[in-house]
Amino acid sequence: MESLRWIWGYIKKFKLRYFIGLFLALFVSGLNMLNPYFAGQIVDEVIYGSKEDLLWPLLGLMIGVTVFKSAIRYSYQLMFESVSQNVIHRIRDKLYHKIQQLDFRFFDKTKTGDIMARMTGDMEAVRHFTAWTIYMIFENFTTLLFAVGFMFYIHAPLALTLVAITPIIGFLAFRLSHDVKPTFSEIRGQFAKLNSVVQENISGNRVVKAFAREDYEVDKFSVENQSFKDKNLKSAKIWEKYLPVLDTLAGFLTVLMILIGGIMVIRGSLTIGELVVFNSLIWALNNPMRMAGWLINDVQRFVASAEKIQELLNVKSNILTPTKPKAINNCTGLVEFKDVSFSYGEEQVLTDIHFTAKPGQTIALIGPTGSGKSTLINLLCRFYDVDEGEVIVSNTNVKEWDVQKLRENTAIVMQDIFLFSDTIEGNIAYGVPDATIEEIQEAAKMAEAHSFIMELPEGYDTIIGERGVGLSGGQKQRIALARALLKDPAILILDDTTSSVDMETEHTIQQTLKEFNQNKTCFIIAHRISSIKDADLILVMENGRIIERGKHEELLMKKNFYYNVYKNQYGDFDGMQHSEEVVISGT
């Protein structure tokens, strides 16, 4: 019922068309009574009444009714199809819009394949229900009502005998509906799993091949595929139990009608013509019985899919713009972390983080993998909310910002670079769609990407494959950097952005960035000392805490974690020599 109410919310925008369709279906149900009536007239009046001149007009009427009925049926089928396409178009739009609003936590725990299953298979089940199932139920039901009414009008006792069987059918239909429903939920769930396996396999196909794990992947798929088959068969077994009974009852109805009707004809209480009418109308009783099983399946499939779609539509994002966000016209780039603690789940990932980054400063984050560097940045962009403390940007808590504005003022080059299957120009201009080609080229030059782009056969018009297939790791990083620089943000965040770029190119990029960042706040996460040594403030992180802070020289003097990293990267001799120089210059 809930699912019906939900789909009605979408259908009602097109209710005029839908009701005209239903009215036409009702009209056709009524027309369905005419040919049996004419057939009865041919028997009683033409054959037994010897009114041969009525034969051709009656046959003509029968042909006319058939053609007319087909034309009307075709037009209302088109109406239902058009409403269903409009409905599904709106739901798909809404779902896509919803997906854009959902936060990182949702994507952390939801598989892409699951979302894809809702956008495709579940949508199709809803479309089928709106376009076909509803009118089929209505058409079958109204035809049955007309037929029963007509039968009672012709011969009430015979009609009553035939109708007496319907409670059994009603009971069976109810049982089938009840038994089959959970299996459809299972099927939809399994379909989502199957989709996830396929999606992950395609996304990770290079890893699969590199590790020669094709057989393992095939086995993994087979397990899910088998389970999908089993769940479908389990569902089929349930309706296979009921469908033959419904079918037999439908057949039994014909036998019953011939038997009792025949006796009545012999006894003279029914004319042969009336028996012919009953015989022609019996399909209107039979058909709904035969269809009941299939239609119930369709309804339950729709309910399972509608529930899945509603579930996604009802997910609430935790990261929302407040009802009255603070109006910040000029983001200064001042960033303050005040005693920030954070966890993704049970385990604390950041503890007591505090620091201030002034406009124009470069803040570097270094530390072992998993120490919380990227997480800290995630809080700055409000991809997640802090558990304790405050993240303040431009003197305003990030929770008071309009989320979109906050992100417009930050540009991030993520560790896991994602490029769209679009031209290089389109990828660089992603954040600034109306940028001129000169501005795009300028950003590419700053990111040291211009020269390699120009060497490509189609330059900036080169279409890069999904996720940037066709480019080297360093090239992808430079395009992602250009994309961020083009935004000209108040806060620039580079998460391991030059890790795949050679030292020389990295050095050139750094020099360019120094000029570019003069009045911006820049965060650099890196593992290479060379990437961060010129930073105004280096935060050394371990286990979610800042364990050292200061400038390069100050940290070397501390001879602690940072010093050891430096020693490892530059070698003992050079490290010692350099640190001595530093100590000397620091004294």
Ligand X SMILES: Nc1ncnc2c1ncn2[C@@H]1O[C@H](COP(=O)(O)OP(=O)(O)OP(=O)(O)O)[C@@H](O)[C@H]1O
CB closer to ligand X out of 87 and 380 = 380
Q: Rounded to 5 degrees, what are φ and ψ at 324?
A: -120, 85
DSSP string, 58-97: HHHHHHHHHHHHHHHHHHHHHHHHHHHHHHHHHHHHHHHH
- Exactly one of 177, 235, 374, 498 binds ligand X (CB under 6 A); that residue is 374
- Residue 239: count other Cβ atoms within 10 Å of its Cβ: 20
Please identify, among the stretches 28-36, 257-265, 364-372, 422-430, the one whose residues bind ligand X according to the rule CB under 6 A.
364-372
CB closer to ligand X out of 349 and 479 = 349
CB closer to ligand X out of 264 and 522 = 522
Question: Nearest approach, Cβ of 474 to ligand X (angstroms)?
Answer: 18
CB closer to ligand X out of 294 and 561 = 561
Of 108-147, which residues contact ligand X (CB under 6 A)? 108
Counting Cβ atoms within 10 Å, is residue 284 exposed (0-12), middle (13-18) or buried (19+)? Answer: buried
Question: Nearest approach, Cβ of 316 to ligand X (angstroms)?
Answer: 18
Number of residues in contact with ligand X under rule CB under 6 A = 12
- Residue 417: count other Cβ atoms within 10 Å of its Cβ: 21
Question: Nearest approach, Cβ of 540 to ligand X (angstroms)?
Answer: 11
CB closer to ligand X out of 293 and 372 = 372
Question: Nearest approach, Cβ of 111 to ligand X (angstroms)?
Answer: 14
Q: Rounded to 5 degrees, what are φ and ψ at 321?
A: -70, 135
CB closer to ligand X out of 306 and 413 = 413
458 lies in the binding site for ligand X (CB under 6 A): no
Which structure tokens are listed for 375?
């997480």
Please identify, among the stretches 46-54, 122-130, 325-333, 370-378, the one whose residues bind ligand X according to the rule CB under 6 A.
370-378
Please identify, among the stretches 152-160, 285-293, 294-302, 366-374, the one whose residues bind ligand X according to the rule CB under 6 A.
366-374
371 lies in the binding site for ligand X (CB under 6 A): yes
498 lies in the binding site for ligand X (CB under 6 A): no
- Exactly one of 3, 29, 375, 441 binds ligand X (CB under 6 A); that residue is 375
366 lies in the binding site for ligand X (CB under 6 A): no
- Exactly one of 332, 348, 415, 508 binds ligand X (CB under 6 A); that residue is 415
372 lies in the binding site for ligand X (CB under 6 A): yes
In angstroms, the CA 399 to CA 380 distance is 10
CB closer to ligand X out of 92 and 533 = 533
Pairing of strands 362-366, 521-525: parallel
Please identify, among the stretches 23-31, 267-275, 371-379, 424-432, the one whose residues bind ligand X according to the rule CB under 6 A.
371-379
107 lies in the binding site for ligand X (CB under 6 A): no
349 lies in the binding site for ligand X (CB under 6 A): yes
In angstroms, the CA 199 to CA 64 distance is 54
370 lies in the binding site for ligand X (CB under 6 A): yes
529 lies in the binding site for ligand X (CB under 6 A): no
How is residue 341 annotated by DSSP? Answer: E
Residues in a beta bridge with 388? 341
Question: Nearest approach, Cβ of 467 to ligand X (angstroms)?
Answer: 19
State whether residue 1 is helix, strand or coil.
coil
Angle between helix axes 437-446 and 503-516 (nearest 10 degrees) is 120
In angstroms, the CA 271 to CA 265 distance is 6
337 lies in the binding site for ligand X (CB under 6 A): no
Q: Cα Rg for the chain, rounded, in angstroms?
A: 36
Question: Nearest approach, Cβ of 242 to ligand X (angstroms)?
Answer: 46
Region of 310 (left: φ > 0; alpha: ψ -120 to 50; beta: rest) is: alpha
382 lies in the binding site for ligand X (CB under 6 A): no
Question: Nearest approach, Cβ of 357 to ligand X (angstroms)?
Answer: 17
* Nearest partner of 45 among 274, 376, 337, judged by Cα: 274
Of 189-218, which residues contact ligand X (CB under 6 A)? none
DSSP string, 397-440: EGGGS-HHHHHHTEEEE-SS----SSBHHHHHGGG-TT--HHHH
Region of 393 (left: φ > 0; alpha: ψ -120 to 50; beta: rest) is: beta
Question: Nearest approach, Cβ of 430 to ligand X (angstroms)?
Answer: 23
- Exactly one of 118, 308, 373, 478 binds ligand X (CB under 6 A); that residue is 373
CB closer to ligand X out of 24 and 376 = 376
* Nearest partner of 284 among 189, 188, 170, 163, judged by Cα: 163
Question: Nearest approach, Cβ of 108 to ligand X (angstroms)?
Answer: 4
In angstroms, the CA 143 to CA 26 distance is 8
| Contact status, residue 360 vs residue 426, Cβ threshold 8 Å | no
In angstroms, the CA 404 to CA 21 distance is 44
Pairing of strands 388-393, 396-397: antiparallel
CB closer to ligand X out of 122 and 496 = 496
Which structure tokens are listed for 480?
């992602």
Question: Nearest approach, Cβ of 326 to ligand X (angstroms)?
Answer: 28
Q: Where on the chain is the footprint of ligand X (CB under 6 A)?
A: 108, 344, 349, 367, 369-375, 415
